[in-house]
Amino acid sequence: DTEVTQTPKHLVMGMTNKKSLKCEQHMGHRAMYWYKQKAKKPPELMFVYSYEKLSINESVPSRFSPECPNSSLLNLHLHALQPEDSALYLCASSPRAQGNQPQHFGDGTRLSIL
Amino acid sequence: GENVEQHPSTLSVQEGDSAVIKCTYSDSASNYFPWYKQELGKGPQLIIDIRSNVGEKKDQRIAVTLNKTAKHFSLHITETQPEDSAVYFCAASPPGGGNKLTFGTGTQLKVEL
């Protein structure tokens, strides 16, 4: 069982909807990440949070809005998404965001945009 | 930036045989190389990693080798079992902030009975 928990597992939404993805870890990690993964492709980094502060945004469109309320939680707020945003969204965590720390992934949220 | 190439894209072996997956990287400053296994419907699972001050690392049936001069690293799985069937991703990470990983394109491993 993964120690990074993501909810919901599946989400279907229309292009005008607003929804949020949630991620939780209780390993005491201080770095958390959002990735996007399309079918048969590797994960692509979207955002990195270090000590609850956004440290990297990989030029992600503003319709994706991350939030880190505390060291255990990471949210991804979604608004006005496009069909091409349909993908598996993965959360990961690591002890820190420096020094090449091992990243541990959740099982993701499979998002479908109608 | 870093670029990681991974081969083969698909690999089919008989149960009990060995499997080898190879990756090359471009940035000589990269110093951390994890391997992930992703089963259908799951997230990537870290199975082994190696840092650039080590040439080889083993964990039961899994081993990783690193050749810094040639800038390539390989995953070796011995005595393969059907439950080893999955997609395997290599990755490389340079030093510095962000702990960013550059992934290879993945290898679909199928272990046949």
Q: How far apart are CA A54 and CA A49, in angstroms?
A: 4
Which stretches in chain A have pLDDT values below 70?
Answer: 1-2
pLDDT at res. B111: 98
Q: Does residue B97 have a pLDDT over 70?
A: no
**A71 interfaces chain B, CB cutoff of 8 Å:** no
* Distance separating alpha carbons of residues A30 and A6, to the nearest angstrom: 17
Give the one of B46, B99, B103 whose C-beta lies nearest to A100's C-beta. B99
Residue A107 forms contact with B (CB below 8 Å): yes
Q: What is the pLDDT of residue A1?
A: 54
User: In chain A, which residue's Cα lies nearest the Cα of B4?
Assistant: A42
Contact call for residues A19 and A109 (beta carbons, < 8 A)? no
Contacts of B99 in chain A (CB under 8 A): 31, 48, 94, 96-101, 103
What is the pLDDT at residue B1? 85
Strands B107-112 and B10-14: parallel
Give B-chain residues touching A96 at CB under 8 angstroms: 99
Angstroms from A69 CA to nearest CA on chain B: 19
Residue showing tokens 């393969």: B80
**Predicted local distance difference test score (pLDDT) of residue A100:** 82
Question: Could you tell me if A79 lies within 8 Å of chain B, comparing CB atoms?
Answer: no
Q: Write out the two tokens for A34.
A: 């959002």
Looking at residue B94, what is its pLDDT?
85
Question: Taking Cα atoms as reference points, which of A82, A99, A81 lies closest to residue A31?
Answer: A99
User: Is the predicted pLDDT of residue B18 greater than 90, yes or no?
Assistant: yes
- Alpha-helix residue ranges (DSSP H) falling in B3-113: none
Torsion angle of the four alpha carbons B85, A33, A41, A100, in this order, in degrees rounded to the nearest 10: -70
- In terms of Cα–Cα distance, which of A37, A49, A42, A57 is closest to A111? A37
Cis peptide before A8 (omega within 30 of 0): yes
**Pairing state between β B107-112 and B56-59:** unpaired
Pick among A33, A58, A91, A103 to test the B interface (most B CBs inside 10 A):
A103
Instruction: Give how far Cα B105 sits from Cα of A44, B74, B88, B93, Å.
Output: 11, 14, 9, 15
Cα of A16 to nearest chain B Cα, Å: 27
Mean pLDDT confidence for B19-46: 96
B36 touches chain A (CB under 8 A): yes
